[in-house]
Amino acid sequence: MKKILIIEDEKNIRRRIVDTLELADNSYCVFTAEHGREGLEIAQREKPDLIISDIMMPEMDGYAVLKALRSDEATASIPIVFLSAKADIAHIREGMNLGADDYLPKPFSIDELLRVVSTRLQRQETQAKRAQHELEEMRLRIASSLPHEFRTPLSALMGFTEMLRNYKHLDDDTITTTLNQIRSNIQRLQRLVENFLLFAQIEVATLRMKTPVIFPAVVETFTADILEERIYAVAAKYQRVQDLRLNITGATLPIATLHLRKILEELTDNACKFSPSSTPITIRSAWTDTSYTLSITDEGRGMTQESITHIDAYMQFERELYEQQGVGLGLALVKRIVSAYRGTINIQSEIGKGTQIVISFPIQGSA
């Protein structure tokens, strides 16, 4: 039986809603609260399937209730429908911006109330099924690709370790090369684990919170040197430093340092991996009063529009034509991080000519 919580300070309206739901064809278990604070306590205790709440209430208004619900993982995904006599555009927009799922203006008919309740509950059920389906698909992709990605560097480490057991018979150059290979495979494993954990953190939080904005509010200042250091480090792995064309300025952005570095690392890695050596990789930045933009352009093999549309973790395109390392986490992870900080990402690509990726963040200032 679906549980519905009614938060309404006017007794007659509250009683009317309860009677309507209890007499409906579908059976509902209905809870009531006379004000926002009581309603929040009941929501946290009972975890209802739907909340119908007035906005203007004593002690705690509907907006405050909504903010509290969305900030708690246990209640963040509960759909909420606002009731209000002030059914103007400004109030509707404010409620929706805070995460309300629907709006029912007073006075309302019985049919309108039942229709809204039925629609919201059906949509919640559909979203739950879709999330479960997506989770199952991801599990299958992980099961088919992740073991291989772990096995490859681990096998290499085992081989190089066996070689070093006979170090007395190896010359210095061979030992140095072997140690470098060991270090490279360890770094590959470390990056794989870090990316997997970060992606899983965002995915789990998004499913629970019904929003990709899951990182704490931060504002950090980045200089051009900080940004370029990560780019050069990645390009050096592919011996592509000479191919870089950089024109980057610093900025003060609402994003954590480690996440911006991760974005640059993944995009630079993709550009190096999927474009021929000695072709330029151009990375530029620009800022206005409202946004800071980073663009990365290569002259590599490019992607089809279908591939761009279906970018996701653990998916690789044209694997039968190209041998490539990785589990397809790079661009998918970048998309998740950018979205989590309310940024935007645009990908333009043409087969045989290259790819340009443009990322934009809201800006706090320049540095």
Give residue-wise pLDDT tens across range 320-350.
Answer: 333 444 435 778 888 888 888 888 999 999 8
Whether the pLDDT of residue 286 is over 50: the answer is yes
Give the per-residue pLDDT at 318: 40
Per residue in 241-280, pLDDT (tens digit) is 999 999 998 888 888 888 888 899 999 998 998 999 999 9
Whether residue 215 contacts residue 341, with contact meaning beta carbons closer than 8 Å, is answered with yes
If you ran DSSP here, which 8-state letter would residue 284 be given? E
DSSP state of 65: H
Q: Determine the average pLDDT of the residues in 169-191.
A: 88
Provide the pairing of β-strand 80-84 with 102-105.
parallel
Return the pLDDT at 276. 94
Read off φ and ψ for residue 322, nearest 5 degrees.
-130, 135
- The residue behind tokens 């935007």 is 344
What architecture is domain 220-366?
2-Layer Sandwich (3.30)
For the stretch 325-347, what's the b/e string if a residue is b when 16 or more beta carbons lie within 10 angstroms of its beta carbon?
ebbbbbbbbbbbbbbbbebebeb
How many other CB atoms sit within 10 Å of the CB of residue 65? 27
How does residue 179 score in pLDDT terms, banded at 50, 70 and 90? very high
- The answer to whether residues 39 and 14 touch, using CB atoms and an 8 Å cutoff, is no
Taking the model in full, what pTM does it have? 0.54
Q: Which CATH class is domain 131-206?
A: mainly alpha
Is 243 exposed, middle or buried, given 0-12, 13-18 or 19+ CB atoms closer than 10 A? buried
Q: Own/partner pairs for 165-168, CB < 8 Å, 24+ apart?
A: none
Q: How many helices (H) and strands (E) does the chain have?
A: 10, 13
C-alpha count within 13 angstroms, C-beta hemisphere, residue 139: 6
Q: Which numeric CATH code is attached to 2-129?
A: 3.40.50.2300
> What are the domain boundaries of the chain?
2-129, 131-206, 220-366
Beta carbons of 215 and 256 less than 8 angstroms apart: yes
Report percent pLDDT > 70 for the chain: 82
